[in-house]
Amino acid sequence: MYSKPWVLFWFFAACCFLYLAYSLYHRWKGWSRGMKTGAFAKVLRTVPLKIWVSEVFLQRQLFSLSFPRWMIHQCIFWGFLALTLLTMVSVTLLLLNLITLDAGLHEFFSQGAGRRLIKIWGDFFGFVLSAGCAGALARRFVFWSPQIAHDKTDIFLSAYLLFMTLSGFMLEGLRMAVFPSDLDRYAFIGRLFMPSRAGISSGLEAWHTWIWIVHAFSGAAILIYLPHSKLLHSLLAPLVIALNAAEEQGRKDMYWPKTKQYRPTK
Amino acid sequence: MAKDKAVPTDKIAAGLTWRQLVEIEACARCGECLVWCPTYEQDPRESICSRGKLGSLKRIVKSGLGEEEQKEFLEGLYECSACGQCHIVCPVRINTHELWEQARQSLVKAGIPQPEQQIKHLAAIREFNNSFAKPQAERGLWAEKAWRAGLLKEPVRLWKEHTASVLYFAGCTASFDPAMQAVAVQSARLLQEAGIDFSILGPDEPCCASKLRRMGDPGFADEARKRADLFREQGIRTIVVSCAGCFKGLHSDYTGILPVSVEVLHLTAYLDRLIREGHLRPSRKIPMKVTYHDPCHLGRHNQIYSEPRSLLNAIPGISLVEMRRHGPFSACCGMGGGLKLAKPEIQKKMSAARIRQAEETGAEAIVTPCQTCQIGLTIGIEAISSCLKVYHMNEVLVRSICPEAGREHIEKAFAATEE
Amino acid sequence: MGLVLSLGFYAAFLFFVAGYLARMLSWARDAPPQAVPERNISLYVCLSALVDILLLRRLLRVNDVLWLGEWTFHASLVILFLSHLKYILDPVPAIIASMEIPARVAAWLLPASLLFIGVIKLVIEKKPYISSYNFMLLGLMMVSCVSGLVMKYSFPADLADIKHFTMGLVTFHAGISPGSLTFLFHFFIFLVILMSLPTHIFAAPLTMIEARQRDDELPYLMHEK
């Protein structure tokens, strides 16, 4: 294929992970300054699973407030989760393959018939994530929803995720143009990013490498950005929802009302 | 962790629970809080809404705020009635109003005090054991005056003379505020109509001290324990309160302080039960179209929505029409959380907005089971010269059961005794 | 012609070095003795200072829109500088050779970011005062970028000739100057910039480490709010 500076990437990714781990540890130290209230005991015993599923995965509260926002957030949520899962599974299989414990799965997914699933999964959820980010940016800049805070870090995050999906598709399209394979028909979005045959020249391999570098390193870099942005809510919101749900178990006025009809129009 | 010794970030963090410290960082910045906030509606600044306050709190426990920013943050923190609307609508479920009250307490402990007017009020509560800065000896006088004026079926007994099965806890407002003593009289009369064996503490009745919790006084827990001890010593097992603020205090704030064996009920819920059991029979027809205002401390904070409504529906002739914002979405009148002390003009605007919402329903009157809300809504009515009337729940019930104890009779009788 | 250019290059370079040394000496002379208290330079301080420089963190804090332009400008400059090193290194190391693609992107980003900064400072924020030195430098940069782009796309110069010339410069073997007029222009502008290079390039690491050493971080050290 084309050359990728793997060693440098792994070193950088490791640094990013370490930074994230340190940052979360630092935050945890900060939280432990607070008073202990014995909530853990409650959570372990009585976390209402139904509330957690409906609030964290289905985001029912958001659904009851606004359907378009719920749609956008679901796209971003599932797109991000699915692509992260894909990355984690691929990396795990790669590492297992290095110590020959993967039972042939790495081979299956990277070269064999399983590659189809990778292509479809990646393209579908990449599309879903980019649609979500595009929707979020449109809501912010085209529809000017009045409740949005125009904080630069918030804007950066949506743009960043959109950039990641687009650069990923560009990379896929470029690779498919230069190194075609018959499994490519499953990459139904990446196909749209293929440069025309006429534009292909020999210098493309360098472009490949650099776009890969930008995409991969930016992807790893999000781990550095995560604790400093509102993306932290992706880790903390489920925790807060679980803790509060445990305390306010099944409150009918908070967990199941039809909120939208009472919303003051602004 | 703290670089700036002037702002004790660690101390402030230590005054919050670890869950609250997590909550502060979990905000998704969606802004839903400011869409619903009745205070933000009157004063649309980022420092007023939950999102702004969470952002400032995050920075204050991390590295402190600059002088200007801190001033703005404190203004926003106290320009809040802790009504809890934001908690209901927050997709992350941050328990906002608890956080604001805890933050106020934490800041005070760290040496950053409340607004001047709040400090004075809290000092008065401690000194006089009531929030009206009047001698406690006058506390039970409403009962004596009412009996002498023939407004009650029998004299109300003091707990120290008669250990009843139920304690009626009138609260400072109903005991001292001349405009609100009718609430206490009517509560007593209704309990008597139902044949309930109750007593009052009279001059021994302390302030519930819940205002200390609302405004972040660190002495709340100790004061609460004193009152819990008093109840225990007096052998009190069931408390019926007529004020929503006292109810939130004794029922919720005292969790872990008052033993679970002590039952605290709000008068509305208690009366609703009595009507269902047939002890009270609203018989006279009251042909009136009314709307109901859910007090924050009764509704959102304690999930008492249906009992007051079933009580109203039990009164013949009453037709209840709901405001658009009712139940868990009831818009706060601004009287809670110390907001009226800190920013009276904002409270006036908030209650005026609420009255306009009530007017939209076409109702003749707005009914509420909380005397503090009644005062607040009255301010709103006066502010926009509305034709709407505001009644306490007791008033409507009394007119249907024992109209001789109606408000105008009480006011006339009490005015006569003054002369 | 080649000789004139070579001599011009050496003169400009000497001027730059001498000027910098002179400035350093004057600072050393003027600094009061107790200005810099003795403090330990720890790894944390050095790493933080590095992050301050790589991300232009202090500017990010005070003006994030300007930061975008400035960061893009500085990053593009670094990439172009690294890429241009291929003209004075023989054989060209793989890492410098691989900078070609980023350099092609940076070559467009540099003038774009300069324009962006110009618009921000002059039109949007309407800065009341910008020194003529600043104007001159930015103008020179812009001219240099444009001439570089023209040289690449419109009037391509013979790279072998240029390489021969530049290698001659660094090995003190004065070579024939390349025939391309655009190259001559581009090179001349470079010499002028070299002579008037701002000192913050070299002072920044020291000031950042100094700021990080102190507890209060000197928050508005480089940029006012």
For residue B9, the Cα-to-chain-centroid distance in whole angstroms is 32
- Test A237 with B26 for CB contact under 8 angstroms: yes
> In the predicted model, is pLDDT for residue B5 greater than 60?
no
85-144 of A, contacting B, C-beta below 8 A = none
Query: Measured between alpha carbons, how far is B192 from C18 in angstroms, rounded to an integer?
Result: 102
Question: B123 at the A interface (CB within 8 A)?
Answer: no
- The answer to whether B354 and B375 have CB atoms below 8 angstroms apart is no
Kindly state the tokens that stand for A176: 């498919």
E strands of chain A, at which residues?
none
Least confident window among A13-22, A46-55, A205-214, B369-378 = A46-55
Q: Residues of chain C whose C-beta is under 8 A from some C-beta in A?
A: 64, 98, 100-102
- CA distances B399 to A87, B143, B377, C38, C89, Å, are 71, 19, 21, 84, 101
Query: Measured between alpha carbons, how far is C169 from C5 in angstroms, rounded to an integer?
Result: 9
Cα dihedral sign for A139, A141, A147, A149? positive
Select the residue of B23, B29, B35 nearest A264 (Cβ to Cβ): B35
Which chains are within 8 Å of B by 3+ CB pairs?
A: A
For chain B, give the percent of residues with pLDDT over 90: 93
Residue B363's pLDDT band (cuts 50, 70, 90): very high
Question: A252 at the C interface (CB within 8 A)?
Answer: no
- Give the residue carrying structure tokens 């106290």: B78
- Test A209 with C100 for CB contact under 8 angstroms: no
Classify the phi-psi angles of B39: left when phi > 0, otherwise alpha if psi is within -120 to 50, otherwise beta: alpha
Cα dihedral sign for A94, A98, A103, A107? positive
Q: What angle do CA A235, A239, A240 make, to 5 degrees?
A: 115
**What's the whole-number average pLDDT of chain A?**
86
- CA distances B324 to A254, A265, B311, B321, C101, Å, are 17, 12, 20, 10, 61
One-letter amino acid identity for A91? V
> In the predicted model, is pLDDT for residue B6 greater than 70?
no
- Test A209 with C101 for CB contact under 8 angstroms: yes
Task: Quick: pLDDT tens for B34-87.
Answer: 999 999 999 999 999 999 999 999 999 998 888 899 999 999 999 999 999 999
| pLDDT reported for residue C21 | 86
Query: Measured between alpha carbons, how far is B287 from B268 in angstroms, rounded to an integer?
Result: 21
Using an 8 Å CB-CB cutoff, list chain C residues near A8: none
Residue A95's pLDDT band (cuts 50, 70, 90): confident
Kindly state the tokens that stand for A156: 């950066």
Question: With 0-12 CB in 10 A as exposed, 13-18 as middle and 19+ as buried, what is B180?
Answer: buried
Q: At what angle do helices B371-383 and B344-360 cross, to 10 degrees?
A: 80
One-letter amino acid identity for C142? M
Question: Which secondary-structure segment (H or E) carries B266?
Answer: strand B263-266
- The answer to whether B167 and B200 have CB atoms below 8 angstroms apart is yes
Kindly state the tokens that stand for B138: 């006058």
Domains of chain B from N-terminus onward: 9-113 (1.10.1060.10), 126-275+407-418 (3.40.50), 282-405 (3.40.50.11810)
Question: A207 at the C interface (CB within 8 A)?
Answer: yes
Question: Which secondary-structure segment (H or E) carries B412?
Answer: helix B407-418
Which of these, A196, A189, A190, A195, lies nearest to A172 by C-alpha position? A190
- Test A35 with B15 for CB contact under 8 angstroms: yes
| Neighbouring residues of B26: CB distance < 8 A, sequence distance ≥ 6 | A232, A233, A236, A237, A239, A240, B92, B94
Residue A41's pLDDT band (cuts 50, 70, 90): very low
- Test A245 with B93 for CB contact under 8 angstroms: yes
Select the residue of B21, B31, B326 nearest A148 (Cβ to Cβ): B31
| pLDDT reported for residue C33 | 66
Per-residue b or e along B41-62, where b marks 16 or more CB atoms closer than 10 Å to that residue's CB? bbbeebbbbbbbbbbbbebbbb
Query: Measured between alpha carbons, how far is B314 from B272 in angstroms, rounded to an integer?
Result: 9
Query: Measured between alpha carbons, how far is C58 from C61 in angstroms, rounded to an integer?
Result: 5
> In the predicted model, is pLDDT for residue A42 greater than 70?
no
For residue C207, the Cα-to-chain-centroid distance in whole angstroms is 17
Q: How many residues does chain B have?
A: 419
- CA distances A50 to A53, C36, C211, Å, are 5, 62, 53
- CA distances A27 to B50, B52, B53, B274, C151, Å, are 21, 20, 19, 53, 52
- Test A210 with C64 for CB contact under 8 angstroms: no
Of the two residues A94 and B357, the one the predictor is more confident about is B357
Cα dihedral sign for B17, B22, B25, B27? negative
Q: What angle do CA C34, C40, C42 make, to 5 degrees?
A: 145
- The answer to whether B54 and B103 have CB atoms below 8 angstroms apart is no
Sheet containing strand B198-200, strands side by side: B157-158, B198-200, B166-169, B238-241, B263-266
Number of neighbouring beta carbons within 10 Å of residue A117: 13
- CA distances B108 to A228, B18, B103, B111, C139, Å, are 29, 18, 8, 5, 56
Which chains are within 8 Å of C by 3+ CB pairs?
A: A
Find the DSSP H helices in chain C: 2-30, 43-55, 57-62, 64-84, 94-97, 100-118, 132-153, 159-170, 181-195, 200-213
Question: With 0-12 CB in 10 A as exposed, 13-18 as middle and 19+ as buried, what is B298?
Answer: buried
Question: Which secondary-structure segment (H or E) carries B186?
Answer: helix B181-193
- Test C101 with A210 for CB contact under 8 angstroms: yes
Cα dihedral sign for B295, B346, B374, B286? negative
A189-210 mean pLDDT: 75
Residue B389's pLDDT band (cuts 50, 70, 90): very high
Cis peptide before B203 (omega within 30 of 0): no
> In the predicted model, is pLDDT for residue B4 greater than 50?
no
Query: Measured between alpha carbons, how far is B257 from B255 in angstroms, rounded to an integer?
Result: 5
Kindly state the tokens that stand for A74: 């679901």
Residue B2's pLDDT band (cuts 50, 70, 90): very low
| pLDDT reported for residue B163 | 93
B248-253 mean pLDDT: 94
- C95, closest residue in chain A (CA to CA): A5
| pLDDT reported for residue A199 | 56
Task: Quick: pLDDT tens for B93-138.
Answer: 999 999 999 999 999 999 999 999 999 999 999 999 999 999 999 9
What does each of the 225 residues of chain C score in pLDDT, given as a tens digit? 778 888 888 888 888 888 888 888 887 788 776 665 666 778 888 888 898 899 998 888 888 889 999 999 999 999 999 999 999 998 999 889 989 889 999 999 999 999 999 899 888 888 778 888 888 888 999 999 999 999 988 888 888 888 888 888 888 887 787 888 889 899 999 999 988 888 888 888 888 888 887 755 566 666 665
Question: Which secondary-structure segment (H or E) carries B390?
Answer: strand B389-392
Task: Quick: pLDDT tens for B138-182.
Answer: 999 999 999 999 999 999 999 999 999 999 999 999 999 999 999
For residue B74, the Cα-to-chain-centroid distance in whole angstroms is 23
- Give the residue carrying structure tokens 């050496």: C10
Which chains are within 8 Å of A by 3+ CB pairs?
A: B, C
Task: Quick: pLDDT tens for B186-214.
Answer: 999 999 999 999 999 999 999 999 999 99
> In the predicted model, is pLDDT for residue B215 greater than 80?
yes
Mutate to test the interface with A, among C101, C105, C152 (most CBs of A within 10 A): C101
Task: Quick: pLDDT tens for A101-122.
Answer: 777 888 888 878 888 888 899 9
